[in-house]
Amino acid sequence: MDQLSPYEEEFYPDILRGLSTYFDSPFVLNIARTAQRFRRPDLAHALNRKQIACKTWLIEQLISAYGPSYGTIWVLGGWYGVLAALMYENPGISVSKFISIDVDEGCAPVAQSLNREQVADGTFETLTADMHTLDYASGTPDLVVNTSCEHIKSFTGWFESLPKGTRLALQSNDYFGEPDHVNCAASLDAFKAQAPMSEFAFAGELEQKNYTRFMLIGRR
């Protein structure tokens, strides 16, 4: 990779910092700081239009389904902590604590950078762990979020490991052409069959280019 000039190094961070000042947005400022510190192509993917749209949709429907206030939320496959950052940015929802869980240890420092104020005040933590090995009963999260159900090969085993009554927000899709998508759902009904909740507070789909995103909110 060619070395960037000082102008190129600061081009996009300067734009983002300017936007953060205009919109008075810690979220945008943290994106600028994080993108400058962690030059990873998949960070752009984590913050692209489709990813943001799907996570914003989750927040909106979660508020509609269960209201604006939550205790501890576990985000499985938390990646770079974008969902937490969006929730902290949204004045319509209140979360006591986020724990962003990912099996990739490289995700933690990026997620901490993107949620730096919440790390400082103790309301955001990262955990490097396999979601299949977690003790969901002892942790007693108020909500478990998994927006990567299409990536879980042993989805049924994971779902059945959750205590009955656990409040969930799950997303999957029908993008079978992606090699890492080992557990896609062909339709919303197929996704509901994969995750037979005792209570469905919301079930819907969001059309995106190349695929449809499915979402279920309810209780195990």
The pLDDT value given to residue 18: 67
The pLDDT value given to residue 1: 47
Residue 149 maps to a domain: yes
Burial class of residue 219 (count of CB atoms within 10 Å of its CB; 0-12, 13-18, 19+): middle
Reported as a pLDDT band with limits 50, 70 and 90, residue 16 is low
* Domain that includes residue 26, residue range: 6-37
Is residue 85 located within the same domain as residue 26? no
Summarised one tens digit per residue, pLDDT across range 154-211 is 999 999 999 999 999 999 999 887 788 899 999 999 999 999 999 999 999 999 888 9
The pLDDT value given to residue 27: 86
The pLDDT value given to residue 2: 57
The pLDDT value given to residue 112: 98
Is residue 18 located within the same domain as residue 104? no
CA–CA distance, 34 with 36 (Å, rounded to integer) = 5
Reported as a pLDDT band with limits 50, 70 and 90, residue 8 is low
Is residue 27 located within the same domain as residue 115? no
Summarised one tens digit per residue, pLDDT across range 144-153 is 999 999 989 8
Residue 1 maps to a domain: no
The pLDDT value given to residue 131: 94
Is residue 100 located within the same domain as residue 191? yes
Residue 170 maps to a domain: yes
Is residue 87 located within the same domain as residue 19? no
Is residue 214 located within the same domain as residue 146? yes
Q: Any bridge partners for residue 199, and if so which? A: 219
Is residue 97 located within the same domain as residue 197? yes
CATH number at residue 208: 3.40.50.150
**Is residue 154 within 8 Å of 132, Cβ to Cβ?**
yes
**CA separation (Å) from 108 to 6, 100, 111, 115?**
28, 8, 5, 11
Residue 213 maps to a domain: yes
The pLDDT value given to residue 140: 83
- The answer to whether residue 7 scores a pLDDT higher than 70 is no
* Structural domains of the chain, count: 2
> Is 146 strand, coil or helix?
strand
Is residue 112 located within the same domain as residue 172? yes
Residue 198 maps to a domain: yes
